[in-house]
């Protein structure tokens, strides 16, 4: 009986030990199972936190607009009265041998033209003219003559305007002496030939014939041309007002 009681006690003690053993193991496993979940919770907390706002970009420098071009100077009306001098220098020779009435010639302005304190046309500006008359002459009493006028002027701002000026005229040197010499030489030669052929009477006849021949030669020959050399300074005057608007 006593032996049974001991066995029963040992069985109860063993069962109690087993229960304690399993109870400790269960608690440890539960702790181990709960520990891995803690980082996940932390990760969830971190991921739930709002993301930081991106850093603001510095505002780009605003481009400054290109400066506006300077306004063009205001146009100003100018008026040059009749009698205003227009001094020019011819660009090339002008002659009755090479030019006819109506031909155009060029010159350059020799002095500034001003209206008050405003320069209307500058020295060196292009000036255009016309041969108003070109008479080659060529008869015994005829003398070659040439007449020039200005028609256009280049202003200080580059525009060309029409102008009206007086005429500048030149004449060739007279040919009367040359013509008389030709007649005299012809008469002398004729007289000499007539004297040889028929004495005094023949000399008179020969002189008349020779003089007529000399006169014919003079009539058939043109006199010297009228001409204006290149780079000749000439001063014209306006005969009508010059009205213009320049900048």
Q: Give 28-51 pLDDT, tens digit per residue.
A: 554 444 554 455 445 544 555 566
Q: How confident is the model at residue 140 (pLDDT cuts 50, 70, 90)?
A: very low
pLDDT at 200 over 90: no
Q: CA 187, CA 98: separation in Å to the nearest integer?
A: 34
Q: Which residue has the tokens 């780009």?
A: 60
Q: CA 68, CA 146: separation in Å to the nearest integer?
A: 55
Can you tell me whether residue 143 is helix, strand or coil?
coil
pTM above 0.85, yes or no: no
Alpha helices per DSSP H over 35-156: 37-48
| Comparison of pLDDT for 13 and 47, the residue scoring more | 13
**Which pLDDT score, from 0 to 100, does residue 217 have?**
46
**Which pLDDT score, from 0 to 100, does residue 206 have?**
47
Angle between helices 37-48 and 2-34 (to 10 degrees): 20
């Amino acid at each position: 009986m006593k032996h049974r009681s001991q066995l029963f006690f040992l069985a109860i003690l063993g069962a109690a030990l087993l229960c304690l053993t399993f109870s400790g193991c269960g608690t440890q496993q539960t702790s181990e199972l709960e520990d891995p979940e803690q980082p996940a919770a932390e990760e969830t907390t971190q991921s739930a936190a709002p993301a930081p706002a991106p850093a603001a970009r510095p505002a780009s420098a605003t481009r400054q607009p290109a400066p506006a071009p300077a306004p063009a100077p205001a146009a100003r009306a100018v008026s040059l009265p009749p009698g205003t001098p227009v001094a020019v220098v011819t660009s090339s020779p002008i002659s009755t041998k090479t030019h006819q009435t109506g031909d155009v010639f060029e010159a350059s302005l020799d002095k500034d033209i001003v209206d008050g304190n405003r320069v209307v046309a500058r020295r060196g500006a292009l000036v255009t003219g016309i041969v108003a008359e070109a008479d080659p002459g060529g008869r015994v009493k005829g003398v070659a003559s040439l007449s020039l006028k200005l028609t256009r002027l280049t202003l200080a701002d580059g525009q060309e305007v029409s102008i009206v000026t007086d005429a500048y005229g030149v004449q060739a040197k007279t040919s009367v002496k040359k013509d008389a010499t030709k007649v005299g030489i012809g008469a002398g030669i004729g007289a000499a030939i007539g004297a040889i052929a028929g004495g005094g009477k023949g000399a008179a006849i020969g002189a008349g014939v020779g003089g007529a021949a000399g006169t014919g030669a003079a009539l058939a020959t043109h006199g010297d041309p009228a001409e204006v050399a290149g780079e000749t300074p000439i001063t014209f005057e306006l005969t009508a007002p010059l009205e213009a608007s320049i900048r």
